[in-house]
Amino acid sequence: EMSEMSERSKQNVAHGLAWSYYVGYLKIVLPRMKKSMEEFSRANPNLLVCRKTWKLHILIPLSCDVCDELEKADSNIQYVTDLTETTLARAGIKKRVYKHSLYTIRDEENQLWHCAVEYATPLQSLYAMSQDECAAFSREERLEQAKLFHRTLEEILKGSKECADTYRLIAYEEPEEAETHFLSREIVWHLRQEHHEEIAVLEGSHPHTPSTVLNSEELNLQISVSDLPQPLCTNGF
């Protein structure tokens, strides 16, 4: 009875992970992003020329396959440096450090783009749970959880005034056949959109959004009865 009530009120894995990620991390770091990017831009005026890219780009692979080193996921992505650290006392931890890494992204025309980018770390928990016998769920259920995580996080951030215009969620489904530079192309596509948005603002027009954008409607959960994920099961990976 309690389990059914929890599911009806969205007290599930992905929903909880999204709120934890926001409250315990994004709500802390995102309001400081613009200042960090501005400080870096003053010292390196030729790297971050588009202010629309002065935000944290959060990768959300729906497979939950998260690489600890972006360079290993795609050789067209290379680490540059870390932005200014934020140090806070947090939950009994003295001088806890929060920081973001800046990367160079090389596109297919060998043009270099720069941005702060990182994976949504809770996806590692979803993946690990799918491997654990105690909480295992199938690939299909993991995909549903990943979609719900993205949609919940998107809704939370849209309602957060302090985080406005400090982030960009990059949700994607990886191709069935491995592509060497799929990830860099995905990131560059979003960076180009941000450049178009800045140009549109300067010119006083509205940016065009192509139909290929992965938005929350396209990521709607394909669940039979409601928006809630099915109960976790233990019938294999």
**Tens digits of residue pLDDT in 56-67:** 999 999 999 999
Query: What is the model's pLDDT at position 50?
Result: 86
Q: Which whole-number Å values give the CA distances from 85 to 34, 100, 152, in the listed order?
A: 13, 8, 28
Q: Answer yes or no: is pLDDT of 52 > 60.
A: yes
Task: Read off the tokens for 31.
Answer: 């309001």
At 79 the three-state DSSP class reads: strand
Query: What is the model's pLDDT at position 91?
Result: 86
> Domain-by-domain residue ranges, the chain?
3-204
Which residue(s) pair with 118 in the sheet? 58
Query: What is the model's pLDDT at position 1?
Result: 52
Q: Answer yes or no: is pLDDT of 130 > 90.
A: no
Q: Answer yes or no: is pLDDT of 135 > 70.
A: no
Is the entire prediction scored with pTM above 0.85? Answer: no
* Averaged pLDDT, 53-80: 95
Decide if 166 contacts 56 (C-beta within 8 A): yes
pLDDT tens digits, residue range 201-228? 666 655 444 433 455 555 554 443 444 4
Average pLDDT, the chain: 82
The class level of CATH for 3-204 reads: alpha beta
70 or 8, which is more confident? 70
